[in-house]
Each structure stands twice: as C-alpha cells, then as structure tokens.
Amino acid sequence: MRLLLPGVVLVSSVFLSSCRPLSSLLGLLGLEQAPAPVAGSSGKNEKSPEDVAGLTKANSELLGEMVRVVFNQEKIEDQADFEGLVQSLNQGASLEGVYRGLVMGARYRGMESKSQGASPAEVRVFAAEMSELQMTMRNPTRFNMDSKKVPEIEYPDEEGASKPAPANEEADSGEVKRDKDSIQKDLMRKFVGASLFTLKRSLGEEALRKFDENKDDLKGIAQWYAALSVRLIQLGVDGGLPLRNTPDFRLHAGFAEKMAQDRVKWEVLNRYHRYLNHVANDAR
C-alpha cells in the first residue's frame, strides 16, 4: 500500500523498526537507539510518552540530515511537511521511501530544472563514482542522451514487486561489458550540462539498483559499503559524524552486516550526496 503525503511518495514495505542497531553498535552514528514504532489505537504494546519522544528525536535528527544532504543546504525550516515526515517514520515508513519522495518531489525537480549546469569538476567526480559503481553491477543502467531528464517512476505496492524500468534505462542487448575508463568517458559526454541535483539523483538511483540486485547477498553489500566508505574517507569526504570518518574497513563492514538494509541504503546515499556536495561547495 502506498502512503501519500503532499509532494512525497513513501514506500511502506521496509520498516524503520528493523533498522535499530544491535547493542554493540549503539552510538556508531551519533544517534541513540530509537524505540520501536508506536502501536495503534488498540493500546497493545503502546509506548510511553518518553519512548515516543525518543523515537521522534531520533527520526527528526535522521530526517534533518537527509534534507540537508539531499538539498545541499544547512537549514531545514523551509522543508514542507517536515513534521509529517517525522511522524511517518515513527509509524514505520522506510528511509528509502522518504528519500525517493524527496528526490522525486516538486521541489527537487524544480532545482534540477532551474539550476545551472554542473561544473566540469562535478561531472568528472560523478562520472568516476558512477563508473566505479557500475563496474560492481551485473546490469548497470545504459544512459541515453535524454538521461538528464527527470524520469517518471512508479513504486511497488508490495515488497519484492517488480519495478518498471526508469525512463533513462536502455535494455542490455548482451553487449560486452565495457571497461571503467570507457564508461567514465561516456558518462561525462552524456551528462554535460546536467545540474548538480541531476547528478546526485542519478547516482543515488543507481546505488539503489545495486541494492536490488544484491538483496540476497548481505555480506557482499556489507563488503562493498565498507570499501566505498574507506575510499571516500581517504578522499577527504566528511561523512557527517566522527565514527563515519574512521577509515576502518572492518568497522564499516560489521556495521553494514548487522544493520537493516534500509539504514545501510541511507548510509550509501548519504556518502554519495555528501561527496558531490563537497565538490560543488569547493567550486563556489
């Protein structure tokens, strides 16, 4: 079932309640462990006001980070329906669903279409990261010349339902897998003139496709996440919290293996968005 709020699509198939860290990982991301989602009006398993307040605080901090990173801004006060989104997280909406709602919402679409084209440095970093990501995928997206346009996406009503292909995806005709350098050059050519927000959305969508490809290989995802984290840390990309910036492969792999995939997805998206924001902000 879809949960709809003004300007946002929420996917309810993956629940935040499964995203709670184990005791050994509490505080890893600088957030306290959130209580379980509040029960319904029946009163069964009803949480105390303190638990509700703790859950709201944790979700507000996480959503605040998402808004700041996605829109590349410091303030969140102008994000419409912020409190409504927090309540949706309290009730079990997925982080992936909230993220997709933000990047496919009217505000983000407007920023994509109205912002000037990304700088050469931003396009180069995007192409390098996208090619790095695609080399780890079985069926990477083949972008066409219209890839800078915002695609129309429908989301599944049930977990595991098939998703229609994005508008910018071309069928894989069995071509020989390209090398990283040729992929990178092709991406740079095709995304010239695209805005920073288009680059970030496209990279985020491809990362989520990788998760879909490897949904049954949690250890593989954990290894990939750890390698990505260490590589970006070594490039000087701030993860937003001290422990996120620790260049310890085992730490990040252990975190990803024990956390729910919904939370790991956000950690990946967070790092990609922060990297492109970092490059864009340095160019200003």
Q: Give the pLDDT score at 45.
A: 58
Average pLDDT on 163-181 reads 53
The Cα–Cα gap between 172 and 138 comes to: 10
The Cα–Cα gap between 129 and 183 comes to: 11
* Nearest alpha carbon to residue 103 among 70, 127, 64, 126: 70
In the numeric block, which tokens belong to residue 224?
């990939």
Average pLDDT on 272-282 reads 96
* Helix 106-114, helix 95-103: angle, nearest 10: 40
Q: Give the pLDDT score at 157.
A: 41
Q: Give the pLDDT score at 75.
A: 77
Q: Give the pLDDT score at 9.
A: 36
The distance of Cα 148 from the centroid of its chain, to the nearest Å, equals 19
Q: Give the pLDDT score at 81.
A: 84
Greater model confidence, 33 or 67:
67
Could you read off the pLDDT of 30-55 as tens digits, one per residue?
334 444 444 444 445 567 887 778 89
**What mean pLDDT value characterizes the chain?**
79
The Cα–Cα gap between 49 and 83 comes to: 17
Share of the chain above pLDDT 70, in %: 70
> 5-14, 139-148, 222-231: which has the highest mean pLDDT?
222-231
Burial grade of 234 (CB within 10 A; 0-12, 13-18, 19 or more): exposed
The Cα–Cα gap between 126 and 133 comes to: 10
What one-letter code names the amino acid at 109? R
Share of the chain above pLDDT 90, in %: 62
Q: Give the pLDDT score at 223.
A: 98
CB 161 within 8 A of CB 2: no
User: Domain coordinates of the chain in residue numbers?
Assistant: 2-111, 117-283
The Cα–Cα gap between 116 and 147 comes to: 16
End-to-end Cα spacing for the chain: 43
The Cα–Cα gap between 207 and 202 comes to: 9
Average pLDDT on 45-71 reads 88
* Nearest alpha carbon to residue 269 among 197, 208, 196: 208
Average pLDDT on 223-238 reads 97
